[in-house]
Amino acid sequence: MTNNWWKWVCVLFVFFSFTAKAESQKDVVDYVNPFIGTSNFGTTNPGAVCPNGLMSVVPFNVMGSPDNKYDKDARWWSTPYEFYNVFFTGYSHVNLSGVGCPEMGSLLLMPTTGELKVDYKEYGSRYKNEVAKPGYYANILTDYNIKTEVTATLRSSVARFTFPKGKSHILLNLGEGLTNESGAFIKKVNDCEFEGMKVLGTFCYNPQAIFPIYFVMRVNKKPLSSGYWKKQRPMTGVEAEWDKDNGKFKLYTNYKKDIAGDDIGVFMNYDTKTNEQLEVQMGVSFVSIENARQNLEEEQKGKTFDQIHAEARQAWKDNLSRIMVEGGTEDQKTIFYTALYHTLIHPNILQDVNGQYPALESDKIKTITEGNRYTVYSLWDTYRNVHQLLTLVYPEKQRDMIRTMINMYEEHGWMPKWELFGRETYTMEGDPAIPVITDSYLKGLRGYDINKAYEAFYKSATIAGKGNLLRPDNDDYLQKGYVALREQYDNSVSHALEYYVADNALSRLAKALGKTKDAKLFYDRSLNYRSYYDKQYGTMRPLLPNGKFLTPFDPKQGENFEPSPGFHEGNAWNYTFFVPHDVQGYAKLMGGQKAFVNKLQMVFDKGYYDPANEPDIAYAHLFSYFKGEAWRTQKEVRRLLKENFKNLPEGIPGNDDTGAMSAWAVFNMMGFYPDCPGNPSYTFTSPVFNKIIIKLDKQQWGREQLVIETVSPSDKAEIIKKVELGGKPYNSFRLTHDQLIKAGNVKFYLQ
């Protein structure tokens, strides 16, 4: 008995020692769960992508199975993937993450077996055994017993399909996808290579934003036969012989040239052996087919699937390792690193390996000679926190993004608002480039033409008339100090509140550049938010052209995303405290600190706060502007983190908005948050980890790391008892960026 007992003690000791060692050796990449945010309208996806890579290859399961037998319904239209859907129709190439409108999600690559089918409703398959890691995704198609795997480089992808024995096929569907466009062109180059173009665009149903994506597809084995398909009747002039019907599609096999039109595709037929693997490479470009081919060749030449996967993993490891955390639970680490992962998906590089890229709103092709040209600027979302995170932790990326924005102004005459692959969609409100660049400049980030940026900002802030593409209702704003409600649902209040934030940031920039007169002009304009405050309701309220408030008025209208006069994607309560640049002054307007704090607390207590919407994203941090009230910030932020960010597919509270929601989690889990865009400062929150080490760019910030430590009596402690900054007592719950960097160390004591 004694010997057996000792044997088990030894076994358990070895087991736990091995487990502890394995735990300590766990890479940051292994904490990322790409399935977080893939349900509950988070619209993220688990596909393979490199940090800020142009190419992403994503499992597509939102097309809908026949009669919706296996899937939910069409409400998942703004993402290629929804976690609980099970009807797989291929891998889409170049996708968006966390957005609220459908776009991209095209070039659908699909393996099948048995008789050839080219209608996705017939060839789609259920699947199992999903695996998703940064730079890699895999599943098994149960209808075909095919294992599928994908990985990516910056501008290309490779899929590896493991087939059973028998008739097998590889399909490239150019008609289906998330985009509203279905037109395409494809040409056979040789037995193993096809090239072509697909039309994309009309993001958020903006008809002017249409653009092509060029591609080259290669397979590593010659097919027995191949051909095209086309929906509807055959095109005249196509040198092909129609063989037979395939449902609603025509099949062409004895073709000589190419095929173009709507709803077309290409198929390749094989007779595979048991467990035979076929690989399909895809290179893309927004410039030309030649560039797509060059991207593919230079990024994948001589590399195996596993080597490409390893390089993608290493790229993510390098990026995620900029922030190292200790302590906290395994779920908290997973939530944190997945959130950080999501903030590094967009914006994406746009230039090809030869440096070429499409100029904004132009048919010109330009060449970048230094750094990266970026695209996918969802600025209404990301100006609040994503770019602040990039400035601090990834300044080299942020610098290139700012250079890109200034170049866009030189190309198009306007700063970007919601730019997408060389087209401006003009989606959402405001003048968001102003706080993005101002915030970085005031923090000390240099290496771009700030005077050219200021020229662009001054233009959009002062030009009246419909010719102002960023502020289309600037006439009212300049003449009245507010934007009047002229149509029932024109989002007038939302527009104006965004302009006030932008003008305050512009005032700060003007002051830093020695433009005293401009600084006063824009500062005074930023205070006109007061005209919207209605003491009767205690909220912001739409104003009519005659200066009177809209009547009747319900401040809760819009709480369920139904249309609301004057407000976009929300109601008056979601916007009433959206005055981050004048919190103290706004409190006086409301009747003082007590009235302000009580009303703000009521927003949380009554559930008026929307954790998934940007205008109120910093509400919880406003308590810290008032002496004795900072504990409310710490309490509410911790509660919001626990309730809304989880290690689950539903783990993001709505659209991730190209990383904005994830950036909120990253900052707050570290213990500080940039609550006022354009103001280089932060509000303290209580960290969830014992220690955080942010690796800094020494050349940029003058030191190699920023250390945040937390001393806590228990896991439940969330209120800050005291703070030490640089080893010295610090008696405030707010600090500037310079204070944070110069200190190098922040130590929190919780209670």
Query: Amino acid identity of 463?
Result: I
Q: Is the dihedral of CA 367, 373, 376, 381 positive or negative?
A: negative
Number of Cβ within 10 Å of residue 741's Cβ equals 17
Question: Where are the domains positioned within the chain?
Answer: 53-304, 325-750
**Region of 570 on the Ramachandran plot (φ > 0 left; ψ -120 to 50 alpha; else beta):** left
Pairing of strands 348-349, 323-326: unpaired
Q: Give dist(CA 730, CA 717) in Å, integer.
A: 20
DSSP string covering 595-615: HHHHHHHHHHHTT---TT-GG
What pLDDT, in 10s, does the model give residues 105-148? 999 999 999 999 999 999 999 999 999 999 999 999 999 999 99
Please name the residue that has the structure tokens 């470009």: 285
* 634 DSSP 8-state letter: H
DSSP string covering 231-297: ESSPPTT----EEEEETTEEEE-S-SSEEEEESEEEEEEEEEPTTEEEEEEEEEESS-HHHHHHHHH
- What is the CATH architecture of 53-304? Distorted Sandwich (2.70)
Q: Give dist(CA 266, CA 739) in Å, integer.
A: 59
pLDDT, residue 170, reads 98
| pLDDT < 50 regions, the chain | 1-23, 72-76, 237-242
Helices (H), 685-743: 698-701, 737-743
* 17 DSSP 8-state letter: H
CATH of domain 325-750: 3.30.2080.10
pLDDT, residue 66, reads 61
pTM above 0.85, yes or no: yes
pLDDT, residue 5, reads 45
What pLDDT, in 10s, does the model give residues 611-637? 998 999 999 999 999 999 999 999 999
Pairing of strands 156-163, 276-285: antiparallel
The two structure tokens encoding residue 440: 């970085």
- Contact (CB, 8 A) for 457 and 415: yes
- Contact (CB, 8 A) for 564 and 542: no
Question: In CATH terms, are 53-304 and 325-750 the same topology?
Answer: no
**For 550, phi and psi rounded to 5 degrees?**
-65, 135
Nearest-5° Cα angle at 353, 352 to 354: 90
pLDDT, residue 232, reads 65
Extract long-range pairs of 200-204: CB within 8 Å, 24+ residues apart: 200/103, 200/104, 200/106, 200/421, 201/103, 201/423, 202/103, 203/101, 203/103, 203/418, 203/420, 203/423, 203/425, 203/427, 204/100, 204/101, 204/103, 204/418, 204/425, 204/427
What pLDDT, in 10s, does the model give residues 239-264? 444 455 676 788 888 666 799 999 99
DSSP string covering 394-420: -HHHHHHHHHHHHHHHHHHSS--SEEE
Nearest-5° Cα angle at 440, 529 to 494: 25
pLDDT, residue 4, reads 46
